[in-house]
Amino acid sequence: METKNSNSRPDKNGFPHYMLKEIYEQPEAVRQTIEACVNSAGHIALPGSGISDHDVKTLRKIDIAASGTSRHAGLAGEFMIERMTGIPVEVDFASQYCYRDPIVERGELAVFISQSGTTVDTVAALHVARKKGAKTLAICNVKDTPLTRDADAMVLTYAGTETSIAATKSFTTQLTALFLLAAHIARVRGCSDAAVDAALRLVRKLPDEIHHVLEQDSQCLALARVFSQYESFLFLGRDIDYPIALEGALKLKEVSYIHAEGYPTGEMKHGPSAMIDESLPLVVLATRDESDPSSRLRYEKTVSNIREIAERGTPVLAVVTEGDKEVRRATPHIIEVPDVPVLLQPILEVVPLQLFAYHIAVLKGRDVDAPRHLSKSVIVE
């Protein structure tokens, strides 16, 4: 796996920017990540992960530390791991992990996520965890890095070279790796759940589903033209969708320089509602899994929120499940994604948000691949 090299940048293959090219490379990147971890019988195995079955069976807690986009993947991973395994998970900013002098318990696994494997905060956090006696696991896109060399074990993602500073395919492969890690732990510990089993049966179809989402590109461009006039956005998501709201807001900030914040939808009335008017559009994740009663309940609450907001004259862009009719009655600004189990939804939901951010940035004439003041790997705190 290669790191970014300004002297040998890969070809754009006809795309106007690396960011768009890498968004479109996500089906293949996710496919390779899955194929590295799922055998022909459909069983999850993490080759070279260095985590023994005994280690997995004696796990009592998992800590996840990362920065930026990788931390958002970790937040989604928290939902995946806890629901699939019953093991408590705590997610931290990598820098904060170092500052707070974490208490490490016996039987604890510390997971560190980084695209490059050179992010200074994340590497420092790993060293703190090892010094305190935790077993450490790196999830990384590059095999030979300070993070992977110093960790007890690693799970590689297979995003390939990511040239654009804004992370896209590295994020979806991190989400995929976290889902597969959770599935591996669940299998070893003998955990079983109908919703989890459904997600495992469909995981191999994810690349095709992502490709289907990419067919919404023209709709994302049309919506970008509608919303590019605004100077601030609020992204909302419930449950496992909340980390994707954070990531959608971050992508928009990074590449377009538009102010955007991500919030849990249920927290809207605990402060953010005071800011909402016709000048502050909302991007709301409103997908649902019809087979999951909890997902349906969350969806109904979100639909109620959207109706209330739209009736005030606030513009709302909603990411919904294919065939949705309820949200469409409340707002005309819709992006559809395929119907998949809850635990797989983040991998699909983020793709239209990436495209939306990309198109707004292009419409505003931004340097999409090299946003100001940002670098691909943060090597100085």
**Residue 100, CA distances (Å) to 95, 128, 129, 375, 378 in order:** 9, 11, 12, 26, 21
Asked whether residue 54 is assigned to any structural domain, the reply reads yes
Helix, coil or strand: residue 174: helix
Structural contact between residues 315 and 333, judged by C-beta atoms closer than 8 angstroms: yes
Token pair in block for residue 90: 């705590």
* Amino acid in the structure at residue 217: D
If asked whether residues 151 and 298 sit together in one domain, one would say: no
Residue pair 176/347 in contact (Cβ under 8 Å)? The answer is: yes
pLDDT at 201: 83
pLDDT value, residue 200: 82
| DSSP secondary structure, 361-372, as one string | HHHTT--TTS-T
With respect to residue 317, please indicate whether it lies within any of the assigned structural domains. Answer: yes
CATH number at residue 349: 3.40.50.10490
Are 119 and 150 in contact by the 8 Å Cβ rule? The answer is: no
Q: Which amino acid is at 107?
A: G
pLDDT value, residue 42: 62
Give CA 183 to chain center in angstroms: 17
Residue type, 157: T
The reply to whether 312 falls in a domain is yes
Query: What residues contact residue 348 under an 8 Å CB cut-off, 6+ apart?
Result: 206, 209, 210, 213, 337, 338, 340
- Same domain assignment for residues 281 and 338: yes
**Three-state secondary structure call for residue 9:** coil
Judgement on whether residues 121 and 269 belong to the same structural domain of the protein: no
d(CA 201, CA 68): 31
* Residues 188, 242 within the same domain: no
Give a yes or no: residue 204 inside a domain.
no
Per-residue model confidence (pLDDT) at position 2: 34
Per-residue pLDDT tens listing for the chain (381 residues): 333 344 457 889 899 999 999 999 999 999 999 998 887 666 677 656 677 889 899 999 999 999 999 999 999 999 999 999 999 999 999 999 989 888 888 899 999 999 999 999 999 999 999 999 999 999 999 999 999 999 999 999 999 999 999 999 999 999 999 999 999 899 889 887 777 778 888 899 999 999 999 999 999 999 999 999 999 999 999 999 999 999 999 999 999 999 999 999 999 878 777 788 888 999 999 999 998 999 999 999 999 999 999 999 999 999 999 999 999 999 999 999 999 999 999 999 999 999 999 999 999 999 999 988 776 665 556
Geometric angle at alpha carbon 21, from 141 and 212, rounded to 5°: 95
Is 154 found in the same domain as 243? no
Q: What is the pLDDT of residue 4?
A: 39
The CB-side HSE value for 108 (13 A sphere, CA atoms) comes to 16
Do the domain assignments include residue 330? yes
Q: Rounded to an integer, what distance in angstroms lies between the CA atom of residue 48 and that of residue 155?
A: 7
Task: Verify that 152 and 234 share a domain, yes or no.
Answer: no
The parent domain of residue 140 ranges over 18-192
Residues 52 and 127 grouped into a single domain: yes
Nearest to 80 by CA among 62, 66, 96, 98: 62
Q: 233 and 185 in one domain? A: no
CA distance 73 to 178: 8
Same-domain check for residues 303 and 345: yes
| Residue 199 within a domain | no
**Which among 25, 250, 355, 67 is positioned nearest to 158, based on CA atoms?**
25
Residue 6: its pLDDT value, please? 42
User: What is the H or E stretch that residue 103 is in?
Assistant: none
Contact 358, 372 (CB under 8 A): no
Query: Does the residue 265 lie in any domain?
Result: yes
pTM for this predicted structure: 0.93
**Do the Cβ atoms of 163 and 9 come closer than 8 Å?**
yes
Beta bridge partners of 263: 236
Q: Do 34 and 183 lie in a common domain?
A: yes
Q: Is 243 helix (H, G, I), strand (E, B) or coil?
A: helix
Do 219 and 184 belong to one domain? Answer: no
With a CB cutoff of 8 Å and minimum separation 6, the contacts of 317 are: 223, 227, 281, 282, 283, 284, 331, 333, 334, 335, 356
The answer to whether residue 8 sits within a structural domain is no
Q: Which of 230, 256, 254 is nearest to 317 (CA)?
A: 230
For the chain, give me the number of helices (H) and strands (E)? 15, 10
Task: Calculate the CA dihedral of residues 184, 190, 195, 198 and round it to 10 degrees.
Answer: 60
Provide the number of structural domains found in the chain.
2
Q: Are residues 60 and 183 in the same domain?
A: yes
For residue 365, the model assigns a pLDDT of: 97
Task: Give the DSSP per-residue string, 268-322.
Answer: TTTTGGGG-STTS-EEEEE---TT-HHHHHHHHHHHHHHHHHHHTT--EEEEEET
